[in-house]
Amino acid sequence: MRILFDARVLGAQMHGIARYGSHLLDGLLSQDLENEYLILTGPEGRKESFPQTETARWISTPIPLYSLREQWQLSILLRSEKFDLYHSPTYTLPLAFVRKGLLTIHDLIHLVFPKDYSLLHRIYYRMVLRPAVARCLHVFTVSDHSKKDIQFYLKGNPDKITVTPNGIDSFWSPRPESPLLSPDYGLGSGYLLFVGNSKPHKNIRRVVAAFQKLVREQAYPGKLVVVGLTLQPFPPELADRIINFPHCSDEELQALYSRAQLLLAPSLYEGFGLPVLEAMACGCPVLVGNRSSLPEIVGRAGIQVDPFQVEAIVQGIKKVLDDPGLSRELTHQGLQRAQEYSWEKTTRIVLNTYKALGRTLKK
């Protein structure tokens, strides 16, 4: 078969969806010895980062993701190309190719919390994504919880939905002696870690409120390190207790995970929660919200709390910090749990689905 893989999501900003697409494409080009690939990429395609194989051909295009332009311009661009399957590792798929289409839907946050997103997002989901799910060959998603959401919100057929979790590679491992964290940050007394953004479902507001309560009660001498926020919604009284890194390299993030006392991830909703998996792989205990996919990802390897209750977050933090034995046990279980996730396993699931669809197409 010839498979068109839409890699336009790959670029300078390697967020969760881009990481999924990048690792999956790398796995497909490394493991698949049967199929040919036609790879659609944007201006920052990063072709040099992938295995170079004679069975793959790259097409560069400036047509952006999630745009009306892609619905007709991609059709024109690809009119002369022959392919059997069109796999988009993102939410978008030109409806002209939907009968050959495979989608990866990572979460449905725009439908679960519609007030936090624009009317345009909801229209896109209704006018493009829902018809695509109804008519495409197959849907991949990253957790059992997201599969249930696709069934509920998009009326997806469960027999046409396959879970392909995010994986973790060997880079994410404990590195507590990393020289990347300067003593100037004052992290010697320990720190709690938050990795996310300012979107409401990430719950940074309640994380800060919980930390503020710990400080006021003189229950914690360390700092809170926040990664990923460009805006800083922090109370003035915490100015010397919170360190904000708007951007971090993977090496810096690995160092932060490796030395943190606890990752705070009490999200209200996650399709998967990749920072939680990365933290566990680096030996960092994790505290997560007991909602959506996070309990599924951490199992018994993390503390689960009600993410809507600040006091529950506070008590969860204290539970770990006040019990070194529990902290060590969470570290041990987290390392074991992280080993259950790999990009090689995810790639195999996708390849098996390609093969099954190929047999169907031949009938």
Average pLDDT over residues 320-339: 97
Q: The tokens of 82 are what?
A: 């022959």
Whether residues 132 and 217 share a domain: the answer is no
Residues 196 and 219 in one domain: yes
140 with 67, same domain: the answer is: yes
The separation between CA 333 and the C-alpha centre of its own chain, rounded to angstroms, equals 21
SS3 192: strand
Rounded distance between C-alpha atoms, residue 196 and residue 229, angstroms: 7
pLDDT, tens only, 12-63: 566 788 899 999 999 999 999 899 999 999 877 678 888 888 889 999 999 8
Q: Name residue 347's amino acid.
A: T
The predicted model scores a pTM of 0.92
- Do 353 and 274 share a structural domain? no
Q: Judge if 288 and 194 occupy the same domain.
A: yes
Report how many domains make up the chain.
2
Q: Is residue 178 domain-resident? A: no
Q: Give, for 140, the enclosing helix (H) or strand (E).
A: strand 138-141
pLDDT band with cut points at 50, 70 and 90 for residue 129: confident
Q: Are residues 6 and 79 in the same domain?
A: yes
DSSP string across 319-360? HHHT-HHHHHHHHHHHHHHHTT--HHHHHHHHHHHHHHHHHH
What residues make up the domain containing 38? Answer: 2-167+342-362
Residues for the chain: how many in total? 363
Q: How far is 55 from 74, CA to CA, in rounded Å?
A: 22
In sequence order, the β-bridge partners of residue 305 are 289
Residue 242 falls inside a structural domain: yes
Q: What is the largest CA-CA distance in the chain?
A: 70
Residue 128 lies in a domain: yes
Each residue of 130-140: pLDDT tens digit?
Answer: 889 999 999 99
Domain at 43, CATH number: 3.40.50.2000
- Claim to verify: residue 158 and residue 206 sit in the same structural domain: no
Distance CA(100)–CA(84), nearest Å, equals 6
Report the C-alpha gap between 103 and 87 in whole angstroms: 6
**Looking at the predicted structure, is the pLDDT value of residue 111 above 90?**
no
Is the pLDDT at 180 greater than 90, yes or no? no
Secondary structure in 3-state letters for 210-268: HHHHHHHCCCCCCEEEEECCCCCCCCHHHCCCEEEECCCCHHHHHHHHHHCCEEEECCC
Residue matched to tokens 């990802």: 297
Which one, of 72, 99, 98, 83, lies nearest residue 40 by Cα? 83
The Cβ-side half-sphere exposure at 337, using a 13 Å CA radius, reads 25
